[in-house]
A and B are shown apart, each in its own frame.
Chain A
């Protein structure tokens, strides 16, 4: 018999001794658990954030250690969510850290059968060139009655409902100035 296991370590006795009558607290905590520290306690900083999924807008606390998100929890300060998160909000640490997340720019050439890697700045420059060329090729100055159109129907975009207001603002501003009008997002869907 394990010498450390005495009468006093019998579960029921343990429960009574520690006042943990329901057996869900210290009476059933293993030595291993006792030595664990929650990631939230060792974080370098906690940043207030907002859940990126649905439009309830639950408050989040993002725990950061060594420049990495280590945990995301509900923010009890939020008058809307009062600290709660649903499964999506609770899983958002995985949204940030999941190993399947793409971290590199990729390129598929016309007719290509697979992705190729590409430098980010090369990709952005190629997109800028295509933007300018497509705009030039598909430009419409006037309609058939001579009324101004000043636009391109050759460039379109979809997305925005998961983006920040500031991002949508720059998108709308740039596309409108470029004459690209087919800008849409989930709000139409």
Chain B
């Protein structure tokens, strides 16, 4: 975070940082005071724009065109950082001749399967000197590491596994052309792919003038290179799209070309929105991964331990993922202790198997089908905070039982008596058979534990007081629940209950029954189990073994409890340290603050420049040193070259800085890992008033759609009926509220600061629709109609896209309908439908189509009729906008959504 102050230029795009991460914004301000240029690219003029050097308004969802044009500008004008690009990226690597680009196939890459609506990634592989399908000894991969189809990868949201490194490659014998001239080199493929991403295309797609583009391009390129660095900052404005992961990939390509990765003041800063949302990804409360980004096993792919090991990381693979067996065995030992032995494959069979996508939206639809009986809500309010609030509430009314653990009586706990569907008459309280348990939660001051903040730093918070009344920490509740469940099953001889009964589930508690959070942290960190160090904490994940002699619940967190010291609680004041502040909290991995920081030195190990000195090779001492923990084998000299065929970390050369990648390089072209293409390509949002100006293919052909009657869409582009929902809406957050309001709309101060739901519209749109500042407006999408107070403001700029004016409407999504909060109001997320990014299964909530009219919305039956009348006028059916491959209806999955 502090490192942003080292940047010479900062581009904030897909984030309103000053509003949503206000205290972090001080580092942007600091950079600006030191002369950095700050540019804000956003549909709205916000608090961030107000303090930036320039605001560039953009049409929501068109970011790949802008950034793609930046890539073209860098390549055309030879402004890339040549030495860095050749040495540290895969620019010189040759790609298989079977690869075909979207330029060849009008918006599709090679490998698209109409029936599955997804890609096989085989043709995107690197070329090899002995044939692309080579699997001879010395190459990476065996049968198990072979090609898994994008369809199953998407279902298990395999993109999430790359939270700490890239995927395995088939082979390591890559061909390189360091002149970058080979037509199949990544560099030339990149050139061709973005050839039509011109400043004029930017104007025609994003609504950004050529001058503004020029300003951005010059600012970024003039502030990159040996002496200078540029940073990008994003938040959910980039992730919440049907090609969200590709937005970030585009920025990664820009940053790699400009040599800004792994260097001070560079990189791409992800601003996450919750105290421990990073932690809940690392130690995931997510369906598809195990702690430390290990895959959850999938039926048919990982039926045996050997299948699984081959898939998560192969010994012959280069980089640290080659040791994935040690991470997995240590995890299984942490969970099943003595029961986990070499003979029973460390209880691998105790793990349940995936068989498709089981994300939160698929689960919601399964509830509607009465397949889910019980649901726990742990500090989350889906009735307001998830896309398609109506579907969420309807789904919960199908549950047998619901447990809500929260501070306040949130809307998800009371939908059965005061939800919008009760008001509209769609649901009746007496008919809802759901049993609801409201169990009050303890606050952060009432329990000890660690949060992992946005830059992977764990910080311990100490308990200050006892929780009041029945309030309990999740730690205590789940420990207790586990104890009782195990008691209920204690006499069971059923084999299916063994995983619960054999589970290590014994933590010391205090006099109030609260488990010792530090004991849990120690388990997460891991221990030596045998030998003279038995019982001692591990100090690094490199100490983990695959023979059962170590345990550890999350390998990337190993070291946080090194020497039995809680390093998350390290609190040396910042003013007594340098900017990196290594003695405050603990960042994974190994307390490293900037990842891949080996790249801050040149191939010989010297800083690229004095000004950007960060980590370098100390030849005399024979080790890496600097302001941070070097992200490299500490004593591996820059001149080190591995024997061909060496796997693991030793397989990477002394000048391969991207140590979690299978080839040690930063990937401009992703031969594996991205399910919707090896290069980011512009597609329109699922719902868009604009036809894709670049390709016949309208939207991401690999996105996840759910054609069903309760999830209709507006027609897009030139399709008839698209003008029924002519405006774009985009949702966002305010400083004074938090997400769905569970932690803010019950607080008098915050409620007073932002009391009421509103919509932001431009004066032009207000005139077009007769909207009055301070008055009411009704906003209608193909799913719902809601009402909001109108704010007419020049902060909203109408954009001209190919001669047509596009109006965008801004909607903060913090309010919900209920009777318990201090402030309530219609929920913006009710307008959204469910369509997902294929890599990570995140919904598109940053761009949708709507209409807006003056006045309050009707109530009851009339409200339902209004929505239905719009749907019929637009001619929306379950097929509308759901065709995956444009013009090929057969590419649309059945109504269960696949």
Which chain A residues have a beta carbon within 8 Å of chain B's beta carbons? 45, 47-60, 62, 64, 67-69, 72, 76-82, 84-92, 94-96, 98, 100-115, 118, 120, 123-132, 134, 137-139, 141, 143, 145, 147-174, 176-189
Contacts and interface: CB of A to CB of B under 8 A. Distances in A.
A158 B353 contact: no
Interface in B484-515: 484-485, 488-489, 496, 499-500, 503, 505, 515
B363 interface: yes
Shortest beta-carbon contacts, A-B, top 10: A79-B574, A164-B449, A159-B378, A57-B453, A103-B469, A160-B285, A151-B352, A79-B581, A161-B274, A128-B484
Q: Which of A91, A123, A131, A161 has the most CB of B within 10 A?
A: A161
B804 interface: no
Given A95-B747, A151-B352, A171 B485 contact: no
Given A80-B453, A171-B478, A181-B352, A150 B496 contact: yes
Contacts of B465: 64, 67-69
A164 B23 contact: no
Given A82-B26, A131-B374, A47 B21 contact: no
Contacts of B1: 56, 80
Contact of A56 (B367, B453, B557, B577): B453
B372 A155 contact: yes
A163 B453 CA distance: 12
Contacts, number: 477
B454 interface: yes
Contacts of B437: 105-107, 118, 123, 126-127
Nearest to B568: A165
Contacts of B879: none
Contact of B524 (A114, A165, A177): A165
B385 A177 contact: no
B329 interface: no
A70 to B, nearest CB: 10
A72 B279 contact: no
Contact of A148 (B271, B303, B409): B303
A153 B367 CA distance: 10
B100 to A, nearest CB: 32
A72 to B, nearest CB: 7
A154 B449 contact: no
Nearest to A167: B474
Contacts of A185: 277, 280, 284-286, 378, 380
B275 to A, nearest CB: 5
A120 B470 contact: yes
A161 B275 contact: yes
A148 B349 contact: yes
B866 interface: no
Contact of B840 (A84, A126, A152, A188): A188
Contacts of A64: 464-465
Q: Which of A112, A159, A178 has the most CB of B within 10 A?
A: A159
Nearest to A105: B470
A159 B285 contact: yes
Given A103-B469, A151-B352, A176-B351, A163 B400 contact: no
Interface in B640-697: none
Given A67-B466, A107-B437, 15 more contacts: A55-B274, A56-B454, A77-B584, A87-B750, A102-B440, A110-B432, A115-B438, A131-B374, A154-B371, A159-B377, A165-B451, A178-B500, A183-B286, A186-B380, A189-B843
B353 A164 contact: no
A77 to B, nearest CB: 4
Interface string B249-286: 00000000000000000000001111111111111111
Contacts of B853: none
A178 B499 CA distance: 7
A100 B822 contact: yes
A149 B349 CA distance: 9
Interface in B378-404: 378-380, 382, 385-387, 400-401, 403
Given A54-B21, A68-B465, A186 B481 contact: no
A168 B378 CA distance: 10
Q: Which of B450, B459, B517, B735 has the most CB of A within 10 A?
A: B459
Contacts of B275: 50-55, 57, 161-162
B373 interface: yes
B453 A164 contact: no
B474 A113 contact: no
A72 B500 CA distance: 41
Contacts of B405: 159
B544 to A, nearest CB: 17
A162 B285 CA distance: 11
Contacts of A165: 276, 279-280, 282-283, 449-452, 458, 521, 524, 557
B606 interface: no
B42 interface: no
A102 B414 CA distance: 13
Contacts of B466: 67
B779 to A, nearest CB: 21
Nearest to A102: B440
Contact of A156 (B349, B374, B446, B748): B374
A179 B429 contact: no
B536 interface: no
B215 interface: no
B409 A102 contact: yes
Interface string B455-472: 001111111111011111
B769 to A, nearest CB: 30
B484 A107 contact: no
Contact of B496 (A77, A104, A139): A139
Given A158-B380, A166-B450, A172-B291, A153 B366 contact: yes
B880 interface: no
A100 B746 contact: yes
A48 B452 CA distance: 16
Q: Which of A90, A162, A178 has the most CB of B within 10 A?
A: A162
22 contacts: A48-B461, A52-B743, A79-B2, A88-B736, A96-B443, A100-B409, A102-B438, A103-B469, A103-B470, A108-B436, A111-B431, A111-B432, A147-B300, A149-B355, A153-B366, A156-B376, A166-B449, A169-B291, A170-B515, A171-B378, A186-B385, A187-B277
Contacts of B553: 169, 173
B130 to A, nearest CB: 35
Contact of A47 (B277, B376, B445, B449): B445
Contacts of B436: 107-108
B22 interface: yes
Contacts of B371: 138, 153-154
B497 to A, nearest CB: 9
B739 interface: yes
A112 B473 CA distance: 28
A121 to B, nearest CB: 9
B753 interface: yes
A124 B22 contact: no
Contact of A186 (B274, B438, B461, B747): B274
A117 to B, nearest CB: 10
Contact of B749 (A87, A111, A189): A87
Nearest to B836: A188
Contact of A91 (B290, B382, B747, B843): B747
B353 A150 contact: yes
Nearest to B840: A188
A169 B23 CA distance: 28
B376 A69 contact: no
Nearest to B403: A127
Contact of A173 (B335, B573, B735): B335
B314 interface: no
B350 interface: yes
Contacts of A79: 2, 573-574, 577, 579, 581, 584
A139 to B, nearest CB: 6
A156 B291 contact: no
Nearest to B554: A169
Contacts of A164: 276, 279, 447, 449-451, 461, 473-475, 517
